[in-house]
Structure 1
């Protein structure tokens, strides 16, 4: 059977490219990178391009997940709501082509956003700071692309799994709020109830595993392995841990040699899981949906 994933992906890339909101977010991301580089060059002394590169972690964490979710949350359910999915499936593409073609097309849009942001950083790094740490820049770009793909996969998976726009929006917004605003309450809160104390630096292993499993936390851990400086996770903090703990990775908080699932590189596995599992669930439900 011939695959039409590439055909669907091209159509999705073109359709997503017509979203004014999405391009506004991409423009905001690129603009923040440009303004940030110029501001750092103007105000900071004796700073290198390698150190400035870590600044990208802030706008990428803030804007990239939102752009990815907007790009993906209507990918499949929008076709179902309009009825165009029946017409699409009446043509050569089948349901597999639809899901994975939309995933590929929407990921390409987010990839363009990441590429533009890093291209601006590359040019401004060379112009303003005189050099570019190319290997670090390339590694950071690759990690960021995986981060963006994670949220596209999450959104497309949800979109394929549900039947209405409202459900898709509610789920992706709810998951985003859990990751950004509620993660510490949902993890450190039970820790306090169980052990009757705030989370110490050397916390129980199960808690460190939960910390590592947040894709935002996994992304910053990975990014910190390839860039100079420190990139801190963009998450709400409620003071349920010591201040020292907020600045440490799970591997650093583990007494002794940390197991592999607490190492920084394991963040790659975490991001892949967050991308693949929602798509697998959405694909399964879409294959069996009565359209």
Structure 2
């Protein structure tokens, strides 16, 4: 039986540690600054600056989130377990009346709370400032963007906890975390592009939309292009994704699956 009080106690400690070292404040400030700068200068390549509408604003912010939030989440959680093991404090923690599952869930909950606060606070402040320049209807799309950014961060935090459980020391865990970031953010799409170029309309090329389900970053990108023809054209995915994969609830559910699955595997291995 899982003790929720034990989970809450561990989570509160992890969260307080992040507040004490001003991690939440620093990341919130980074998100706010980058969100405002990119929203204003996101169209500079087209020779224009300033806010040009919610579609272009979100398109610019999505590029920021795909690179930044996964990296922050992985660096936040990669040493959650292996760090305790190296410091010799893991055995001490497990000697207390707390199970391994409760310890892992508590650490994830505390780190998730810190990441969520930083993400929502950072982009929320930017959203308040942008709301003075954008129509009220645009806030719906911006709120959806914030929620999807939060899901993306929690998915990569789950991957970070899995890495922390599987690796034997912090050096290997940090290397694995960076490797995951490179693979999902940089390499994966290049592999899909190569497959599309080689196969074209062949059988393998037709699998491209479904292979995108294997990457939470691609799910996040697809989730933020729904309901906007301009965003579909901007990303160039409108002709690639079938209609089924442009449903927000389905994409959100799949991204939630990326939160649950790695965490479940981590729980299984840590037990």
TM range (shorter): 0.7 to 0.9
CA RMSD of aligned residues (A): 3.3
Question: Aligned match of 2:62 in 43, 51, 57?
Answer: 57
Gaps of 5+ in 2: none
Cα deviation for residue 44 of structure 1 reads 4.3
Q: Which residues in structure 2 correspond to 1:122-161 (within 5 Å)? A: 122-129=127-134, 131=136, 133-161=138-166
Q: Could you give the per-residue CA deviations for residues 33-74 of structure 1, whole angstroms, max 9, x where no partner exists?
A: 123345579954783356534432122222111111111111
Does the C-alpha gap of structure 1 residues 274 and 49 become closer, same or farther in structure 2, counting only changes over 3 Å? closer
Contact residue 69 and residue 151 of structure 1 kept, 8 A: yes
- Give the whole-Å Cα distance in 1 for the aligned partners of 2:167 and 2:65: 28
Q: TM-score, normalised by structure 1?
A: 0.77
Q: Which moved more, 1:168-177 or 1:29-38?
A: 29-38
Contact residue 179 and residue 214 of structure 1 kept, 8 A: yes
2:167 aligned with 1:174: no
Q: Which moved more, 1:174-183 or 1:17-26?
A: 17-26
Contact residue 74 and residue 159 of structure 1 kept, 8 A: yes
Does the C-alpha gap of structure 1 residues 190 and 58 become closer, same or farther in structure 2, counting only changes over 3 Å? closer
2:36 aligned with 1:34: yes
Contact residue 41 and residue 50 of structure 2 kept, 8 A: no
- Give the whole-Å Cα distance in 1 for the aligned partners of 2:243 and 2:54: 34
Contact residue 8 and residue 106 of structure 2 kept, 8 A: yes
Helix, strand or coil: the match of 2:159? helix
Q: TM-score, normalised by structure 2?
A: 0.82
- Give the whole-Å Cα distance in 1 for the aligned partners of 2:193 and 2:40: 38
- Give the whole-Å Cα distance in 2 for the aligned partners of 1:34 and 1:138: 16
Q: Could you give the per-residue CA deviations for residues 150-179 of structure 1, whole angstroms, max 9, x where no partner exists?
A: 111110122123221122112221121111
Contact residue 158 and residue 172 of structure 1 kept, 8 A: yes
Contact residue 39 and residue 50 of structure 2 kept, 8 A: no
- Give the whole-Å Cα distance in 1 for the aligned partners of 2:23 and 2:67: 15
1:280 maps to which residue? 264
- Give the whole-Å Cα distance in 1 for the aligned partners of 2:24 and 2:200: 39
Q: Could you give the per-residue CA deviations for residues 191-245 of structure 1, whole angstroms, max 9, x where no partner exists?
A: 66xxxx3545997332321134221111011011266852899xxxxxxxxxxxx
2:44 aligned with 1:71: no
Q: Could you give the per-residue CA deviations for residues 56-101 of structure 1, whole angstroms, max 9, x where no partner exists?
A: 2122222111111111111111111111111112222221111111
Question: Aligned match of 1:48 in 46, 53, 56?
Answer: 53
Contact residue 22 and residue 67 of structure 1 kept, 8 A: no
- Give the whole-Å Cα distance in 2 for the aligned partners of 1:35 and 1:91: 48
Cα deviation for residue 111 of structure 1 reads 0.6
1:106 maps to which residue? 111
Aligned length: 265
- Give the whole-Å Cα distance in 2 for the aligned partners of 1:21 and 1:188: 37
Contact residue 49 and residue 132 of structure 1 kept, 8 A: no
1:243 maps to which residue? none
Gaps of 5+ in 1: 234-245
- Give the whole-Å Cα distance in 1 for the aligned partners of 2:228 and 2:157: 24
Does the C-alpha gap of structure 1 residues 172 and 31 become closer, same or farther in structure 2, counting only changes over 3 Å? same
Does the C-alpha gap of structure 1 residues 129 and 204 become closer, same or farther in structure 2, counting only changes over 3 Å? closer
